[in-house]
Amino acid sequence: MKDKYYYVLKDCLTYRENWANDQKNYLKYRGLIAEAKKRRFKDNKLIFTIYSLIYLPIITLNFFKKIREHSQYHKALSEIEVLKEELNKYEVPQIKYRRKNAKKN
């Protein structure tokens, strides 16, 4: 028999899987933007150096933000694994040993 906790876990799992999928797409998009920035300054190293020096604080903050986003994504993946393991406990039959002459429902 499944209690209310099972359905709460199931809803949480669905929410986390959707969030992880959206975050994966977002991280891919961020990778494309980073590639576009590299190509933009590919030909002129001087402008790239000046740009990097001017925006160094912002670049540093964006780097930490990127680390945090990847950390949150991997945390969500770990939570999904734990939730699936917990939900699988509900799928295991509660009675392991039955008498041979017992009725099956």
Is residue 101, in this structure, part of any structural domain at all?
no
pLDDT score of 101: 65
Burial class, 93, CB count within 10 angstroms (exposed 0-12 / middle 13-18 / buried 19+)? exposed
Is residue 104, in this structure, part of any structural domain at all?
no
Q: Rounded mean pLDDT of 79-84?
A: 94
- The pTM score is 0.75
Residue 91 in this model has a pLDDT that exceeds 90: no
Is residue 100, in this structure, part of any structural domain at all?
no
Is residue 66, in this structure, part of any structural domain at all?
yes
- The number of folded domains in the chain is 1
Cβ pair 27, 74 in contact under 8 A: no
pLDDT score of 59: 94
Share of the chain above pLDDT 90, in %: 62
C-alpha dist (Å) from residue 97 to 2, 29, 93, 100:
20, 53, 10, 9
Domain that holds residue 35: 4-90
Is residue 105, in this structure, part of any structural domain at all?
no
Q: Rounded mean pLDDT of 30-37?
A: 92
Residue 81 structure tokens = 């694994």
Residue 33 in this model has a pLDDT that exceeds 90: yes
